[in-house]
Amino acid sequence: MSEEGKQGKELKAFFFTVKVPAGQEAGIIKLLAKKAEYTGLGVKSILFVPRLRGYLFLEADREFDVRKLVRGISRAKLLPGSPVPMSEIDALLYREPEKIEIEPGDIVQIIKGNFKGFRAMVLSPPSGKGRKFITARLLDIERDWEVQLPIDSVKLVEKAKEREEEAPPEEEEIHWPEEG
């Protein structure tokens, strides 16, 4: 068989969705793997995506093999419908990290850590190798605290440029006549 023919067959994978109780995925995976090994069914792999709790994806050539494997396991149910294409599985596995541009003067919301829920003003741009950190001043407290935060623990709330555009014009200072 030619190289192209082999590659075409390898790319054609069918993933069937199996519903299981959330939190019991690991135990059921072990059970299904042992049963597949023992019975010699054509199930190639079992995939669990942590973001999709309660669901397993079984790779097989035929739905019959998956039905036979799941039969007898009371907590696992094969969902009806066509198999899930590999492109959808890839989308679940590989997620592009959200790229946010944070500059000094921006307002951020802290979403992780000890200061979760607080707002802060960015004082320095992201720096560091690997995990990037920003220096920010907390806004929701009476004291001026400067903290270093990982960039993945903040969410951009307001850009500095937008705040300047929306700022109301400064009011003229009123001079009151002095008495006496």
Kindly report, residue by residue over 23-47, the tens digit of the pLDDT.
899 999 999 999 999 998 889 999 9
Q: Which CATH class is domain 11-93?
A: alpha beta
Per-residue pLDDT, averaged over 52-61, amounts to 91
pLDDT above 90 coverage of the chain, percent: 36
Mean pLDDT computed over every residue of the chain:
82
121 contacts 145 by C-beta, under 8 angstroms: no
Neighbours of 137 (CB within 10 A): 14
C-alpha to C-alpha distance for 148 and 137, rounded to whole angstroms: 9
The answer, as to whether pTM is greater than 0.85, is no
Residues of the chain with CATH 2.30.30: 107-165
- Record: fold of 107-165: SH3 type barrels. (2.30.30)
Task: Enter the tokens of residue 131.
Answer: 């995990």
C-alpha to C-alpha distance for 147 and 168, rounded to whole angstroms: 30
Picking from 56, 52, 55, 36, the residue whose alpha carbon sits closest to that of residue 44 is: 36
159 contacts 139 by C-beta, under 8 angstroms: no
Q: Per residue in 90-122, pLDDT tens? A: 877 776 556 668 889 999 999 988 888 999 999
Q: What is the pLDDT of residue 27?
A: 93
> Which pLDDT band, with edges at 50, 70 and 90, does 2 fall under?
very low
Q: Per residue in 136-154, pLDDT tens? A: 999 988 888 899 988 888 8
CA neighbours within 13 Å on the CB side: how many for 90?
A: 6
Residues of the chain with CATH 3.30.70.940: 11-93
Q: Which residue has the higher pLDDT, 138 or 125?
A: 138
16 contacts 63 by C-beta, under 8 angstroms: yes
